[in-house]
Chains A and B, each alone.
Chain A
């Protein structure tokens, strides 16, 4: 009997998602567990599809993972993530000379946030402010809600947050580390921006499956995924596109801060 390929869901936040998933699917063709993929236009739709059994595994952002856990009372598991997902962080940036040197200096200042469903550029920054003793009334928040439903995956709202700082509509912006890297940190726009605070690391995306999907189906798939090798140029092409060097087993402790933030900010488990 031939086993049906595992169906993986992913969100099509750029056209580049297509070659990435075609590459991953092709990598699995000769492997022990075949797969195919389905693209969704937003994470809400994807998580519903996972819960309804239309897909076996979802490539989820951290917020989609938290919501899946909440919706299933924990009857789901994270299978794997990128090395870069294990050490994600948020940076706060400002114009040089703004007088901001630490997160606590934001009291009474304006902070530009990305889309309200972006963990790295909105939900966790508010959480980090609270941890630093700053409530929402202490900091003037400028929310830039571009590309809602993509959980900040496009980075567009973060770029708009930076523009807000450069246009003096905000004193600082909260960004995911990947956006900060993508613009070349402070090296390509000398004198324009500087980082004044970086959060503790947390986890970002993972492959999520419900507990109803047996381990016999997921284990060979995960093993083959983890075997992708940066030194193999064919694999590297896919890994580079997806922004990692190695697939890793998940570290669930890395989601603790987001669970707490979602609870405190009373973010709904449903979209």
Chain B
């Protein structure tokens, strides 16, 4: 006798709305046919026993988790590139353990060029360049052009090196499709300098002024330790930036992550952290705050990038499925 289970499935699923479960009786040997039909038609096989199959109309819940995240925050929408790990500063809150003594570990222009091209093809919408301090690289302007040619790009910097050849390099960078994100932690020098070094606040303020005078879009991002966070300080910070002409959407306040040199801060683990695919010279990581940490390593293989993005998306939906809690978003930009 010919199996008609597929006809029953089409009829019963066609009569209900997405998310509704239907049951169909099974004859021996029909379970595989039901599984094949579900895979082909984009419906979810909930269970199949000897005599009945349970099917939910619509894509499996794992995909729903993915789509529940706003498009610009979905895993794979943003690509972070750690251009290098060395830095002119050695902040105590640095999640990348950067300092003047840290080895450079640069990705290099050629690999960045390939990564960004593959990223655009894989559906990435935005690139973020970070470090270390990217302005220590002599060819940073080439790196920036390479990225901006393909995707909107933000460059994170401490804003302290805009002098001499580096100022000339800054001037060669594109104004369109490009944003500079400069770190400034507080409205006054005390807190910023306490974590980043004496005199750094004033130089960051000067850097913001130079970048704006050169016609760049500047976003300012503060990193604040939990015990130092208070609403008065935050209000003063926004007031200061308002006064400097920085738009509110370009004023970001982030908590310190308990990573790298930071002993205090927000604990972040892969299964609770909304991933943002992050590339370093050593591999691909779950999120920029974990780019120097093995627990967030996804793969040592940089290419093809799509494989790593697929893997991050797969793990994300898997964690979401098993965890009762939703993933936290930890905004770095």
Is there contact, CB below 8 Å, between A14 and B14? yes
Which chain A residues in 185-217 approach chain B with CB under 8 Å? 188-189, 191-192
Chain A residues proximal to chain B, CB less than 8 Å: 14-16, 18-19, 154-156, 159, 162-163, 166, 179, 182-184, 188-189, 191-192, 231-234, 237, 240-241
Q: Which A-chain residue is minimally distant from B32 (CB atoms)?
A: A188
Complex-state Cα separation, A233 to B59, whole angstroms: 13
Taking a contact as CB atoms under 8 Å apart, the answer to whether A163 and B14 are in contact is no
Could you tell me if A183 and B71 are in contact, using CB atoms closer than 8 angstroms?
no
Query: Contacts A155-B14, A162-B7, A232-B71; is A182 near B41 (CB within 8 Å)?
Result: yes
**Partner among A156, A159, A184, A232 whose Cβ is within 8 Å of the Cβ of B36:** A184
Alpha-carbon separation in the docked complex, A231 to B71 (Å): 11
Scoring B residues 89 to 106 as 1 if CB is less than 8 Å from chain A, else 0, what string do you get? 000000000000000000
Report the minimal beta-carbon distance from A186 to chain B, rounded to whole angstroms.
11
Contact A16 B18 (CB under 8 A): yes
Measured between beta carbons, the chain A residues less than 8 angstroms from B7 are 159, 162-163, 183
Give bound CA distance, A155 to B14, whole Å.
8
Q: A18-B17, A189-B6, A234-B67 are in contact. Are A184 and B37 (CB under 8 A)?
A: yes
Number of contact residues on B: which range applies? 20 to 34
Judging by beta carbons under 8 Å apart, are B6 and A16 in contact? no
Q: Are A189 and B67 in contact (CB under 8 A)?
A: no
Q: Give Cα A192–Cα B33 distance, bound, in whole angstroms.
A: 13
Cα(A246)–Cα(B2), bound, Å? 37
- Nearest CB to that of A232 among chain B residues? B71
Choice from A154, A188, A191 contacting B14 with Cβ under 8 Å:
A154
Asked if B235 is an interface residue, CB under 8 A from chain A, the answer is: no
**B57 near A16 (CB under 8 angstroms)?**
yes
A233→B74 contact, CB < 8 A: yes
Task: For B71, give its contact among A15, A154, A234 (CB under 8 Å).
Answer: A234
Once A14-B15, A188-B37 are accepted as A-B contacts, the answer to whether A163 and B4 lie under 8 Å apart by CB is yes
B114 to A: closest C-beta gap in Å: 22
The answer to whether A192 touches B16, judged by C-beta atoms less than 8 angstroms apart, is: no
Which are the 8 A-B pairs with shortest beta-carbon distances?
Answer: A15-B17, A192-B2, A16-B17, A182-B10, A159-B7, A183-B6, A188-B6, A166-B2
With A183-B6, A184-B36, A188-B37 as contacts: A14 and B71 at CB distance below 8 Å: no
18 contacts between A and B (CB under 8 A): A15-B17, A15-B20, A16-B17, A16-B57, A19-B18, A154-B14, A159-B10, A163-B7, A166-B4, A182-B41, A183-B7, A184-B6, A189-B3, A231-B123, A233-B74, A237-B67, A240-B42, A241-B18
Q: Which of chain B's residues has its CB closest to A153's CB?
A: B14
Q: Assess whether B227 is interfacial by the CB under 8 Å rule.
A: no
Q: Are A192 and B3 in contact (CB under 8 A)?
A: yes
Please report the C-alpha to C-alpha distance between residue A234 and residue B3 in the assembled complex, in whole angstroms: 37
> Which residues of A sit under 8 angstroms from B33, Cβ to Cβ?
188-189
CA gap between A189 and B57 in the complex, in Å = 21
Q: Which chain A residue has the least Cβ–Cβ distance from B10? A: A182
What 1/0 flags go to B257-275 for Cβ under 8 Å of A?
Answer: 0000000000000000000
| A189: contacting residue among B2, B18, B66, B74, CB under 8 A | B2
Known: A16-B57, A154-B14, A183-B10. 9 other contacts (CB 8 A): A18-B17, A155-B11, A156-B11, A184-B36, A184-B41, A192-B3, A234-B71, A240-B42, A241-B18
CB distance from B203 to the nearest CB of A (A): 42
B34-74 vs A, CB cutoff 8 Å, 1 = contact: the mask equals 00110011100000000000000101000000110001001
Give A232 to B77 CA distance when docked, in angstroms. 11
In the complex, the answer to whether B10 meets A233 with C-beta atoms within 8 Å is: no
- Report which residue of B4, B20, B41, B59 has the largest number of chain A beta carbons within 10 angstroms of its beta carbon: B4
In the assembled complex, how far is the CB of residue B53 from the closest CB belonging to chain A, in whole angstroms? 13
CB proximity of B60 to chain A, nearest CB, Å: 13
Docked Cα-Cα span, A184 to B10, in Å, equals 10
Q: How far is B42's CA from A232's CA once the two chains are assembled, in angstroms?
A: 18
Chain A residue nearest to B17 in the complex (CB): A15
Q: Are A188 and B36 in contact (CB under 8 A)?
A: yes
Q: Which residues on the B side are within 8 Å of A179 (C-beta)?
A: 10
With a cutoff of 8 Å between Cβ atoms, the chain B residues found around residue A232 in the complex are 71
Contacts of B42 in A (CB 8 A): 240
Instruction: Give the distance to chain A from B124, nearest Cβ to Cβ, in Å.
Output: 12
Q: How far is the CB of A203 from chain B (nearest CB, A)?
A: 22
Q: In the complex the two chains form, is B16's CB within 8 Å of A14's CB?
A: yes
**Cα distance, A134 to B66, chains bound together (Å):** 53
Give complex CA distance A166, B20 in Å.
29
Cβ proximity bits B1-34 to A, threshold 8 Å, 1 near / 0 not: 0111011001100111110100000000000010
Q: Please name the residue on chain A nearest to B16 by beta carbon.
A: A15
Cβ-neighbour of A19 out of B4, B17, B37 (below 8 A): B17
Give B90 Cβ to nearest chain A Cβ, in Å. 41
- Report the bound CA distance from A14 to B18 in whole Å: 10
A115 to chain B, nearest CB (A): 14
Residues of A within 8 A of B123 (CB): 231
Docked Cα-Cα span, A179 to B20, in Å, equals: 21
Residues of A within 8 A of B40 (CB): 184, 188
Chain A's closest residue to B64 (CB) is A237
**Minimum C-beta distance from A237 to chain B (A):** 6
Q: How many angstroms between the C-alpha atoms of A159 and B11 in the bound complex?
A: 7
Query: Interface centre among A15, A159, A182, A234, by most B CB within 10 Å?
Result: A182
Q: B18 contacts which chain A residues (CB < 8 A)?
A: 16, 19, 241
CA distance A179 to B7 in the complex (A): 10
User: Which residues of chain B have C-beta atoms less than 8 A from A162's C-beta?
Assistant: 7
Chain A nearest CB: distance from B112 CB in Å?
24
Q: How far is the CA of A182 from the CA of B42 in the complex (A)?
A: 11
